Structure 1
Amino acid sequence: MMPNRLESLKESTVIVADTGEIETIRRLKPQDCTTNPTLLFKAAGSEAYQSVVAGAIDRAKQKSGADVHAVADMLAVSFGSELLKIVPGYVSTEVDADLSFDTAATIDKAKRLIDLYADMGADTDRVLIKIASTWEGIRAAERLQKDGIKCNLTLLFGMHQAVACAEAGVTLISPFVGRIRDWFVKAGHTDFDDENDPGVVFVRRVYSYYKRHGYDTIVMGASFRTLGEIEALAGCDRLTISPALLDELAGQDGAVERKLSPNLAGRFGEDKLDASEAAFRWGMNEDAMATEKLAEGIRMFNKDLVALKKLLAEKL
Structure 2
Amino acid sequence: MSKKVKYYYDTENLAYHKIKPKKAKSLGYAALFLVASALFGFLCFVVLLNTPYFETPKDKAQARQIENLKLNYKILDKKMDELDAVLANVEDRDNNIYRVYFNNAPLSQMPKKKGIITNERFKELLSSNNEQLVSNTTQRVDQISQRLAIQSKSLDEILKLAKAKEKFLGSIPAIQPVKNEQLKRMASGYGYRSDPFTKARKMHKGMDFTAPTGTPVFATGDGVIERADNTASGFGNHIVIRHGYGYETLYAHLSRYNKRVGQRVNRGDIIGFVGSTGRSEAPHCHYEVHKNGNAINPLNFYYGNISAVEYTAIAKLATQENQSLD
Bigger strand share = 2
Higher relative contact order (CA 8 A, sep 6+): 1
Using the size of structure 1 for normalisation, the TM-score is 0.22
Instruction: Name which one, 1 or 2, has greater alpha-carbon Rg.
Output: 2
Bigger helix share = 1
